[in-house]
Amino acid sequence: MNFDLSEEQQVIADLAAQLFGDLATTERVKAAEQGDGIDRELWASIAEAGLLALSLPESAGGSGMGLVELCLVAQQIGRTVAPVPFTSTTVAAMTLAEHGVGTDLLPGVADGSVILASALAETGANDPLAPSVIATRSGDGAVRLVGEKPAVPALPLATAVLVPAMLDGATILALVDLSTATAGVEITPLKTTSRESQGHLTLDVDVPASHVIDDDAALEQLFLRSIAALSAVQLGVGEGSVAMAAEHVSNRQQFGRPLSAFQAVSQRAADAYIFNEAIRSTVYNAAWQLENEPGDKARADTLAAAYWSSEGTEKVVLAAQHLHGGVGADIEYPVHRYFQWGMQNATALGTATSHLVRLGDQLATR
Amino acid sequence: MNFDLSEEQQVIADLAAQLFGDLATTERVKAAEQGDGIDRELWASIAEAGLLALSLPESAGGSGMGLVELCLVAQQIGRTVAPVPFTSTTVAAMTLAEHGVGTDLLPGVADGSVILASALAETGANDPLAPSVIATRSGDGAVRLVGEKPAVPALPLATAVLVPAMLDGATILALVDLSTATAGVEITPLKTTSRESQGHLTLDVDVPASHVIDDDAALEQLFLRSIAALSAVQLGVGEGSVAMAAEHVSNRQQFGRPLSAFQAVSQRAADAYIFNEAIRSTVYNAAWQLENEPGDKARADTLAAAYWSSEGTEKVVLAAQHLHGGVGADIEYPVHRYFQWGMQNATALGTATSHLVRLGDQLATR
Amino acid sequence: MDISDTPEEAAFRAEARAWLDEHATPRGQSTEEPDLGDHVQRARDWQRTLHEHGWAGLSWPEEFGGRGLPGAFATVFAEEMAGFEETTGSLTVSLGMVAPTLMAHGTPEQQEHIAKMLRGEELWCQLFSEPGAGSDLATLGTRAERDGDVWVVNGQKVWTSLAQFADYGILLARTDPDLPKHTGISYFIVDMNDPGIEIRPLVQMTGQAHFNETFLTDVRIPAENMVGGVGEGWSVARTTLTSERSSIAGGNSGWSVETLIEEARARGRCDDPVVRQQLAAAHCRAEVLKVMGYRIRTATSQGRFPGPEALAMKLGYARHWVASTETAMELLGADATMYDQSEPWQYAFLNQFAIRLGGGTDEVQQNIIGELGLGLPREPSADRGVPWKDLPR
Amino acid sequence: MDISDTPEEAAFRAEARAWLDEHATPRGQSTEEPDLGDHVQRARDWQRTLHEHGWAGLSWPEEFGGRGLPGAFATVFAEEMAGFEETTGSLTVSLGMVAPTLMAHGTPEQQEHIAKMLRGEELWCQLFSEPGAGSDLATLGTRAERDGDVWVVNGQKVWTSLAQFADYGILLARTDPDLPKHTGISYFIVDMNDPGIEIRPLVQMTGQAHFNETFLTDVRIPAENMVGGVGEGWSVARTTLTSERSSIAGGNSGWSVETLIEEARARGRCDDPVVRQQLAAAHCRAEVLKVMGYRIRTATSQGRFPGPEALAMKLGYARHWVASTETAMELLGADATMYDQSEPWQYAFLNQFAIRLGGGTDEVQQNIIGELGLGLPREPSADRGVPWKDLPR
């Protein structure tokens, strides 16, 4: 048992920290917000540094690493609120590689020319494991997809999107090509709280057999990996916001002493720190378990990580924002981005409550 | 609209405060704990002061007042953790008077010679509105009761007990005489956290028609009045515990200043104060509504009061106990009684969660 | 104790309701205009309408143009108004803070503004907070120096709500830096059209610029525009700040527990026991605020000042706001993150900081409650008696 | 990063499990004896058994009778032990606090006690807190005055766990009142059979007298029983207190999330979505503690001191305890209020204060975390450098 990062993992973490620290500056983040929600220069730098190929198999030109390494990069994205569709692309790519579907896209993932999306969110109670898109067989293993998907991250930027659907009472994943305009595929860009690029997807389209992952377990795996990666982003978001808040309350003087010398302030900051450590622990445990010992325990551990990264990060970014007082109300001051990212990610693939309910179902019935 | 107490109500509140303040001393409370859970001398004084007759109709020798006045006394009982079965007796007596059942007992209620109990708690999820005791008709309006009731307050002391039961798919209340040993009525005294006198009731007994309240609405009314009165006790418990904590933290010095000069302490005490004010507001509103404008709104208002007096008082007594630090750990120091009463009352007729769920059902389906 | 309306209150309620049914828009029938300027203009227009029909200044003394009714009547009118879209929220500083302050401390000439506020003609803003003086407002450093018949003011204010629309402002400035921080402050009325005033709007997460930075450069204020005497600014400001806290808690939030339940029903989430529990919790929080309102209304009607429990109102309101808008985010599911300034729940959620910070932070409220409600000794203060100019900064 | 056992750890785990299956009682198969004396005796017996079979002091250096294994092996054994009834909880002060302190600071003669603790022969208690010195422990006033070869001690200690059963105590006493509070303290080993020691058990809400008041009157302690030098007591005590916090979080609680789920199942409450949510929340809290344990175990194995995040363990454990026993009360329904010292959930619920206070209050922990984890400046201290005798009291 060794919870420390390996030397190789530490190199990746350091590289990502340096790369995002240097490049994801407030000015560039702001520019991406005012543009289409992606910093393409940064995206190219990530590709060049090899970070997009980390978790691709060596056969696809990747480094053959896994979810833990992917999370190390995701964490730095959260820490710098960097506008790049990293988790969306790399998690979907892992699924494609594993199931041997759409593997022609993988070199493009590695070099940054391909962006991938996964359409996990659902309307209503937002249960990604109960897809509302209906698939029907249209011969030769091909399927026809009909339905809608709300709030798909990176959709307006994506080359292709993985769409969960119900086929004959089981779930499938269908890879829908977006590289050319296709009749029956409609994308509406959405305005989001965090300015993340998202789109609404309307489908009435055929997908060839070669682009269908007809494995009922694939959706849950994609979902679990996605919430693990999102939780790693949340960890970074929480770290970044607490660092900013700690600096603010240590420097700002009121009543003749720094704000941090008031227990109401310091104890709230301490609680935020504790949440971050809870998230760090559960996220890396979940990523390791999903990668190395998939199964019920890994599922429960991942839901626990998702719970903490929703509930905990929500509390952390609220605290950090609140501790900034009026200073944080002005969006010229960068702390609000942590709040907006933290809150958006806390509901994106289910809320803290929905993760608890899902986990409760598992615990109560096993 | 006037939320202030009337002159008459203020006289009652002052009288109760003085009476319990003078007589329910720590020494006497301790003696009752080591005895059978009642201070009979105090009980006689309450009767003599007319407090047991407050809410009885004038026709039964009472003062003809209502639930608000009853709550004023109940609050002082909580404030002094006074070991007397006041709410149990007076709430049951209101039901008897209203339905003209067991009215021969009412003079005894007024003079203190009769103690009444209501068997509301249920095994399992503790839903008092779904009684597990089964009643069957045994001719001439008489019924046979079969079943068990856990945790009945004042049962070992009581002259008679009101037992909710299911009869032909509706609820009834049956008044079971305990003044003489009766075959088919078994009482097992229980040890409780708060040292309140309670008993477990096992029934296999006939109840004559004259002792049956065959009105499906009577149980809910008894339940709502009981939780309102219990909430008033909780208000007093919260007040008493916060007063003790405020005094402690204002006097105890650590690190060269009083504990209350640390925000971690003062802000927690302030939150306890806020809870008490929330409870005060909702409890007296509920009592007034139940008395003057019964119906759905009064029901919702009473559940809200019960929620706050469970959730809030639990937080208040936890805070008060915690703020006492090690000093409160020794049961020679009286603050622990507030904790034990507060926690016991917070679960006695349902928990904060169960009140919320019941209220949520009402709100979502109306 | 009697929670129901008196016959007079009931008659007034019926009259108010009938008038509102005729003149106001029921809630949910209009879509909120995201443009802040339009919103402000509608508030002025509505206030003028209220005034024209005799519904303005219900509990204000008749000498100030009010109707001189007991406070309970104003509450009854507010309760009935809550069912309608119209709001005078943009006039909160004017009506809820400046007017009470001028009634208590103003000269007859200064009090002439009150009637204009009542007609919606004047919109005021509050120039109190500074970049370096937030919770510790009394350290403010904006200077006012006497020059004959005028005071010349230089400094910077911040978090000035609606300054870009305001006709006048109330201003705290330091008239004597040699005195301890609370005693060297004076209180002024300032014309917001003065050429020395420069306003820079601050955009918030909601996308609106409710707040502003206000720069004052050689702003010349006639001496007669000082409210109270030289150095009495802090005690005048206490009237304003007390009024501010009760205004925030009494405000029209644009959402209610009923609309939250409606949202849950519309989204088919009402059958979920976990959701029901959250809705019930929201109801319980709102119930406390409602009954606390009864208590405050009673105290006011009886000519008493509300007790320290009233201080909990603003804090309770802020906590209710935060928790209920979180529940709304829960209900919205994947829609929670969609926002373009027009969705009311997302707006309310993002606007929580304005609620929590306005009128003093939650923590400052808790400190006051500990002192006044429980009699806890104050935290030791490091700067008592120290001349303002010698404070560390 | 590799969360699984190494081959050596896996082999050790299997060996431990096999031995435990043979010698220990699976959880839930014995009913807890409410008598504290019996409980303490069983802990001593179990420690002796562990020692006889080579399972005691797994990670302790061999020179102190330990097996000198990496820390991970002790954790593996503790993980396996958690499934069994036996516990050495009553020896926590001895094994978890006194032994590490003596290893670090004791003389060779003092260190001879360690082997006896390891065999369950000696039970120790901690004489630190005083009625006037709780969170602010360093203000303690118990006096030790030199009289030739002995120190004569007078004073009163309180919250002394299991003093009534202890053979020895570790004692903090003031040897120089003229120095500032932290620097005039020395650390002693005291024989609890000294005639000058009087013990008064304090009964807690649980009905047990886990804590005691201890009165010391002219207790004579040989000079060689001082641990560390004169005036070095505070720095020696820091070793003890650090060990205390990790002992509390690592303790055997007598309940677990699994037993909570079992309770819900046995009471037919597992179908209730609201209950499921609470069970899941308990699981999530436990998960954090488990993985934090991995992190601390890793640090220790790598020869590092765990980072400030480890400080959160005790706090997280206390919060988990409070919240989970509240959930249990919820599940117990009408049974929640029944208590005669034998119901495990009620006992655990009532015992929460011991968990929250032991090793420093939650608030003290948060302050330390703010300082060490976030680098926040300390609160100003009023008594720095003031001689102890001049402190206000």
Residue B49: which CATH number? 1.10.540.10
Contacts of D277 in chain C (CB under 8 A): 274
Nearest CB neighbour to D203, from listed B255, B326, B331: B331
Query: Any CB–CB contact under 8 A between C350 and chain A?
Result: yes
Distance between CA A330 and CA A312 in Å, rounded? Answer: 24
Residues 295-334 of C with CB under 8 A from B: 295, 297-298, 301-302, 309, 312, 315-316
Please say whether the beta carbons of A349 and A120 come within 8 A: yes
**pLDDT at residue D384 in the model:** 80
Residue matched to tokens 């008033």: B232
CB contact, 8 Å: B353 with chain A?
no
Across the interface, whether the CB atoms of C291 and B2 are under 8 A apart is answered no
Whether residue B3 lies within 8 A of chain D, CB to CB, comes out as no
- A41 or C360, higher pLDDT: A41
Is A152 a residue whose pLDDT tops 80? yes
> What is the 3 state secondary structure string of D38-103?
HHHHHHHHHHHHHHHCCCCCCCCCHHHCCCCCCHHHHHHHHHHHCCECCCCHHHHHHHHHHHHHHH
Does B263 sit within 8 Å of A262, measured CB to CB? yes
In three-state form (DSSP H/G/I as H, E/B as E, the rest C), the secondary structure along A110-156 is HHCCCCEEECCCCCCCCCCCCCCCEEEECCCCCEEEEEEEEEEECHH
Distance from CA of D282 to the nearest CA of C (A): 17
Lowest mean per-residue pLDDT among A86-90, C368-372, D165-169: C368-372
Q: Residue B170's domain is classified under what CATH number?
A: 2.40.110.10
Same domain for D29 and D81, yes or no, is: yes
Give the DSSP letter string of A32-47. HHHTTS--HHHHHHHH
Using CA atoms, how far apart are residues D46 and C32, in angstroms rounded to an integer?
72
Q: Of C87, C109, C139, which residue sits at a domain end?
A: C87
Rg from Cα positions in chain C = 22
Inter-chain contact A264–B264, Cβ cutoff 8 Å?
yes
Rg of the Cα atoms in chain D: 22
Nearest CA in chain D to B331: D204
Using the Cβ of D375 and the Cβ atoms of chain C, whether some distance falls under 8 Å is answered with no
Q: Which of A251, A234, A240, A354 is nearest to A303 (CA)?
A: A354
Q: Give chain A's radius of gyration (CA, Å).
A: 20
Q: Which amino acid is at B35?
A: G
* Position with higher pLDDT, D375 vs A177: A177
Asked if the model's pLDDT at residue C181 lies above 70, the reply is yes
Asked whether residue C286 falls in the same domain as residue C323, the answer is yes
Pairing of strands C185-191, C150-158: unpaired
- CATH at residue C143: 2.40.110.10
Tokens linked to A145: 């997809």
Flag whether D380 is in a domain: no
CA distance D319 to B176: 45
User: Is C132 within the bounds of a domain?
Assistant: yes
For residue A229, tell me if it sits in a domain. Answer: yes
**In terms of CA atoms, which chain D residue is nearest residue C382?**
D380
**D377 at interface of C, judged by CB pairs closer than 8 A:** no
- Of C177, C199, C231, the one marking the end of a domain is C231
Which residues in chain B have Cβ-Cβ distances shorter than 8 Å to C264?
A: 364
Q: Who's near C290: CB < 8 A, 6+ residues apart?
A: none
| D212-239 burial code (b ≥16 CB/10 A, e <16) | bbbbbeebebeeebbbbebbbbbebbeb
Helix C362-374 / helix B263-292 crossing angle, nearest 10 deg: 70
Residue B99 has pLDDT above 90, yes or no: yes
Whether residues C293 and C351 share a domain: the answer is yes
The pLDDT-based confidence of D151 (bands split at 50, 70, 90) is very high
Written as one letter, the residue type at B47 is: A
Burial A275-312 (b: 16+ CB within 10 A, else e): bbbbbbbbbbbbbbbbbeeeeeebbbbbbbbbbbbbbb
CA B341 to CA B355: how far, in whole Å?
19
Asked if residue B142 and residue B105 are part of one domain, the reply reads no
Max intra-chain CA distance, chain C: 72
Are D74 and D145 within one domain?
no
Asked, for residue B1, whether it belongs to a domain, the answer is no
- B267 vs A: CB within 8 A: yes
CATH number for the domain spanning D312: value is 1.20.140.10
Residue D330 and residue C383: Cα distance in Å, rounded? 49
Residue A319 lies in a domain: yes
Residue with tokens 């905990």: A312
> How far is C382 from C379, CA to CA, in rounded Å?
9
Note whether residue A257 is domain-resident: yes
**Nearest chain C Cα distance for residue A358, angstroms:** 12
pLDDT at D311: 79
**Is pLDDT at D249 greater than 60 in this prediction?**
no
Element (H, E) at C172: strand C168-174
Task: Give the chain D residue whose CA is nearest to the CA of B352.
Answer: D330
Is C135 within the bounds of a domain? yes
Nearest to D128 by CA among D90, D106, D83, D159: D159
Of residues D189 and D392, which shows the higher confidence score? D189
* CATH number of the domain where residue B333 is located: 1.20.140.10
| pLDDT tens readout for residues B37-92 | 999 999 999 999 999 999 999 988 899 999 999 999 999 999 999 999 999 999 99
Do A271 and A312 lie in a common domain?
yes
> Which candidate, D53, D210, D35, D23, places its Cα nearest to that of D119?
D53
Split into its structural domains, chain B has a count of: 3
Q: What size, in residues, is chain C?
A: 393
Average of pLDDT values for A270-293?
A: 96
Give me the residue from C273, C380, C382 closest to D273, CB to CB.
Answer: C273
The DSSP letter of residue C323 is: H
Q: Is C202 on the interface with A (CB under 8 A)?
A: yes
Average confidence score pLDDT of chain C = 90
- Mark whether C368 and C259 lie in a shared domain: yes
Q: Tell me the two tokens of residue D304.
A: 């590092």
Active-site positions of D read: 244
Q: Would residue D107 count as lying in a domain?
A: no
Q: Are residues C283 and C175 in the same domain?
A: no
Residues D130, D82 within the same domain? no
Out of C32, C65, C87, pick the residue that ends a domain.
C87
What does the mean pLDDT of chain B come to? 95
Contacts of D331 in chain A (CB under 8 A): none
Q: Does residue A281 sit in the same domain as residue A187? A: no
D185 and D259 part of one domain: no
Choosing among C269, C270, C271, C274, which should be mutated to test the D contact, i.e. which has the most D CBs within 10 A?
C274
Closest by Cα among A60, A91, A71, A225 to A154: A91
Opening angle at CA C255, ends C128 and A341, nearest 5: 75
**Encoding tokens for residue D297?**
């175990």
List strand residue ranges (DSSP E) for A155-261, in order. Answer: 160-167, 170-177, 185-190, 198-207, 212-213, 253-254, 257-258
Report yes or no: B202 at the C interface, CB cutoff 8 Å.
Answer: no
Residue from D126, D252, D117 nearest D189 by CA: D126
Check if D25 contacts C (Cβ < 8 Å). Answer: no
Residue B187, number of CB atoms within 10 A of its CB: 17
Residues near D374 by beta carbon (within 8 Å), at least 6 away in sequence: A242, A246, A269, A270, A273
DSSP assignment letter at B329: G
D274 and chain C: CB distance < 8 Å anywhere?
A: yes
Domain assignment of residue D101, yes or no: no
User: Does D139 contact B325 at a Cβ distance shorter than 8 Å?
Assistant: no
Q: CB under 8 Å to D376, separation ≥6 — which residues?
A: A246, A249, A250, A260, A266, A269, D370
| Integer Cα distance of A278 and A143 in angstroms | 43
Q: Is the pLDDT score of C246 beyond 70?
A: no
Top pLDDT among A329 and B358 is at B358
* C44-58 tens-digit pLDDT: 999 999 999 999 999
Residues B199 and B223 placed together within one structural domain of the fold = no
Residue D38's contacts (CB-CB under 8 Å, 6 or more residues apart) are none
Residue D297 lies in a domain: yes
Domain with C334, as residue range(s), is 253-373
| Whether residues B354 and B226 fall in one domain | yes
User: Model confidence at B125, in pLDDT bands (50, 70, 90)?
Assistant: confident
Closest approach of chain A CAs to the CA of D156, in angstroms?
A: 31
Nearest Cα of chain B lies from the Cα of D136 at a distance, in angstroms, of 5
What gap in Å lies between CA C95 and CA A240, rounded to an integer?
41
- Rounded to a whole number, what is the distance in angstroms from the first to the last CA of chain B? 27
CA separation for the pair B283, B303 (Å, rounded): 10
Assess whether C79 and C143 both reside in one domain: no
> For chain B, which chains pass the contact test of at least 3 CB pairs under 8 Å?
A, C, D
What is the DSSP pairing of strand C168-174 with strand C124-127?
parallel
Element (H, E) at B200: strand B198-207
Name chain B contacts of C367, Cβ cutoff 8 Å.
263, 266-267, 270
Q: Is residue A1 assigned to a domain? A: no
Contact C136, C202 (CB under 8 A): no
User: Are A292 and A318 spatial neighbours (Cβ–Cβ below 8 Å)?
Assistant: no
Residue C118 forms part of a structural domain? no
The mean-pLDDT minimum among B330-339, C247-256, D78-87 falls in C247-256
Which chain A residue has its CA at the smallest distance from C278's CA? A353
- Last residue of one domain, picked from the residues A113, A141, A167: A113
Is there a domain that residue C236 lies in?
A: no
Q: What is the distance between the terminal CA atoms of chain C, rounded to a whole angstrom? A: 53
Per-residue pLDDT at C265: 94
Give this complex's ipTM: 0.92
Q: Please name which of A249, C132, A277 lies closest in space to residue D376, comparing C-alpha atoms.
A: A249
Q: Is the pLDDT of residue C34 over 70?
A: no
Tell me which chains share at least 3 CB pairs under 8 Å with chain A: B, C, D
pLDDT at D120 over 90: yes
CB count within 10 Å of CB B34 equals 9
Instruction: Return d(Cα A5, Cα D137) in angstroms, integer.
Output: 39
Residues of the domain holding B55: 7-113
C-alpha span between B39 and A158 (Å, rounded): 77
> What average pLDDT score do residues B102-121 get?
97
CA angle B312, B317, B321 (to 5 degrees): 150
Picking from D333, D337, D362, the nearest residue to B344 by CB comes out as D337
Question: B263: which chain A residues are within 8 Å (Cβ-Cβ)?
Answer: 262-264, 267
**SS3 state of residue C219:** strand
Q: Is A27 part of any domain? A: yes
**Predicted confidence band of residue C381 (pLDDT cuts 50, 70, 90):** confident
Same domain, A183 and A230: no
Q: Are residues B147 and B271 in the same domain?
A: no
Main-chain dihedrals φ then ψ at residue B135, nearest 5 degrees? -110, 140
Same domain, A99 and A160: no
Half-sphere exposure of residue A170: CA atoms within 13 angstroms, side-chain side: 10
Is residue C251 pLDDT above 60, yes or no? no
DSSP state of A281: H
| Number of domains composing chain C | 3
Enter the DSSP assignment of D306: P
Chain C touched by B246 (CB under 8 Å): yes
* Amino acid identity, position A318: L
Assess contact for B265 and C377: CB atoms under 8 A: no
Looking at the structure, tell me whether residues B70 and B123 fall in a common domain.
Answer: no
Whether C365 and C305 map to the same domain: the answer is yes
My answer on whether B225 and B299 are in the same domain is yes
- The residues of C annotated with a catalytic role in the active site are 244
My answer on whether A194 and A293 are in the same domain is no
Q: Does B259 lie in the same domain as B199?
A: no
Length of chain A: 366
Tokens read off for B341: 């009463």
